[in-house]
Amino acid sequence: MSYNLIPNYDINGLVPAIIQDADTHQVLMLGYMNAESLQKTIDTGQTYFWSRSRKVLWHKGETSGNTQQVTSIYLDCDCDSLLVLVHPSGPACHTGAVSCFFQLMENQ
Amino acid sequence: MSYNLIPNYDINGLVPAIIQDADTHQVLMLGYMNAESLQKTIDTGQTYFWSRSRKVLWHKGETSGNTQQVTSIYLDCDCDSLLVLVHPSGPACHTGAVSCFFQLMENQ
């Protein structure tokens, strides 16, 4: 599948992708996509990322089974961030938490 | 105000910050914070960012009036992204859109 909008990839060829639960609207994680992982995400309907630490394409849930089924992808106004709405098969976080954002830093 | 959790800033001293409406749960924008803008955000209770293009500290809403009142800040599991919940005073986007993520790229 092709698409008309093209992200503005950064100097490393990456764009940050916010992953949000399509039903609960909880923000689950932030990952990075390169052109290949975005294309795989669109083609398969499941999230793929570029692992900056391991420097490999990474299919979310490939070992844990906690894949994320994509419902829609939005690009922001200056085309340098993605918002990906998903139906998750399980927790997003490797710790077992539903969302990676479980550490409360500040409450006002 | 001080805080115990410290973000893992990237090589440019920045961390991506997802801004989400605390009430509607709509994802409004993604900005970047350095240590100074995070501290200003915590101290004032309004969002401050680092503008990568203009290379200046940027108080969201300083010209438009569309400030964002912070309710809480979360750090993700590996401490390299922030999730900031806010009450926005107006649209997040410079185009007048409520959210910067208004360009639908893909629908599955």
CB contact under 8 A, A94 and B77: yes
Query: What is the C-alpha to C-alpha distance for residues B46 and A4, in angstroms, rounded to an integer?
Result: 36
A106 vs B26, B73, B102: nearest CB: B73
- Residue A58 with chain B: CB contacts under 8 Å: none
pTM score over 0.90:
yes
Q: How many other CB atoms sit within 10 Å of the CB of residue B91?
A: 16
Q: What is the tens place of the pLDDT at every residue in A13-30?
A: 999 999 999 999 999 999
Q: Is the pLDDT of residue B1 over 60?
A: no
Q: Which residues of B touch A (CB under 8 A)?
A: 1, 3, 5, 16, 18, 20, 25-27, 29-30, 42, 45, 70-79, 81-83, 93-95, 97, 100-108
Rounded to an integer, the average pLDDT of B12-22 is 98
Query: What is the C-alpha to C-alpha distance for residues B75 and B84, in angstroms, rounded to an integer?
Result: 9
Query: What is the C-alpha to C-alpha distance for residues A14 and A80, in angstroms, rounded to an integer?
Result: 9
Shortest Cα–Cα distance, A62 to chain B (Å): 19
Q: What is the tens place of the pLDDT at every residue in B39-94?
A: 999 999 999 999 999 999 999 999 999 999 999 999 999 999 999 999 999 999 99
CB contact under 8 A, A16 and B20: no
Q: Is the pLDDT of residue B4 over 80?
A: no
In the 8-state DSSP scheme, what is residue A78?
A: T
In the 8-state DSSP scheme, what is residue A46?
A: B
CB contact under 8 A, B108 and A26: no
Q: What pLDDT is recorded for position A5?
A: 84
Q: Is the pLDDT of residue A73 over 60?
A: yes
Q: Is the pLDDT of residue A106 over 60?
A: yes
Q: What pLDDT is recorded for position B3?
A: 57
Q: What pLDDT is recorded for position B12?
A: 95
CB contact under 8 A, A81 and B3: no
Structure tokens at B69: 């009142």
Averaged pLDDT of chain A? 95
Query: Exposed, middle or buried, A82 (CB in 10 Å: 0-12/13-18/19+)?
Result: buried
- Here the ipTM equals 0.95
Q: To 5 degrees, how large is the angle CA A39–CA A42–CA A44?
A: 105
Confidence label for B5 from pLDDT (cuts 50, 70 and 90)? confident
Q: What pLDDT is recorded for position B60?
A: 97
